[in-house]
Amino acid sequence: MSQKRILIKNLKDLERAAREFLREKPQGNVIALYGAMGAGKTTFTKALCRVLGVPDGVNSPTFTIINEYRDRDNTPVFHLDLYRIEKISELYDIGIDEFIYSGHLCLIEWPEKMEEILPEDCIRVTINVLEDGSRELLF
């Protein structure tokens, strides 16, 4: 299977890229977002949520670990930020299985922290910062 690439030219281009991603992504509800600090994982998550009709403000759950939003159909969207997680056991303590096997969209920042327990059908997305400051999504 060939890798797909979506170029994000600037912040104004984010929602177009989010719509394209949702249209082009493989089947699966768990989306693992890889990228360096500042690459745009949270910014892209915000754009995805806007496209899905999430009315709430979307913020990185760095301290709460998990945020739950509702899309325009009142369907849950889970947003996890694992930056502060140090051990897999911490994820089990917060009930990680309830989120990643819920059947609902689950967006995970810093998925490296749980690589060995990601579902098989997880969609791995890498966000790279290009020389001109634009971003590319590879999945």
The answer on pLDDT for 56 being more than 90 is no
* Residue 2's pLDDT band (cuts 50, 70, 90): confident
According to DSSP, the β-strands at 76-81 and 105-109 are parallel
Segments forming the whole domain that contains residue 123: 5-138
Tally of structural domains, the chain:
1
Per-residue confidence (pLDDT) for residue 127, from 0 to 100: 98
Q: Would you state the torsion angle of the CA atoms of residues 56, 58, 64, 66, taken in this order, to the nearest 10 degrees?
A: 90
How much is the pTM? Answer: 0.93
Are residues 52 and 71 in contact, defined by beta-carbon separation less than 8 angstroms? yes
Cα separation, 86 vs 129, in Å, equals 26
Measured distance CA(17)–CA(51) in Å, rounded? 10
Q: Give the tens place of pLDDT for each residue, 79-120.
A: 999 999 999 999 999 999 999 999 999 999 999 999 999 999
110-124 b/e (C-beta count within 10 Å ≥ 16 → b): bbebbeeebeeebbb
Under 8 Å CB-to-CB from 48, ≥6 apart: which residues?
Answer: 18, 21, 22, 107
Token pair 């325009």 in the structure block, residue:
72
**Average pLDDT of the chain to the nearest whole number:** 95
Of 62 and 34, the structure prediction assigns the larger pLDDT to 34
Quick one: 109 exposed, middle or buried, by C-beta within 10 A (0-12, 13-18, 19+)?
A: buried
Give CA–CA dist 65/50, Å, rounded. Answer: 20
> What CATH number is attached to the domain comprising 105?
3.40.50.300
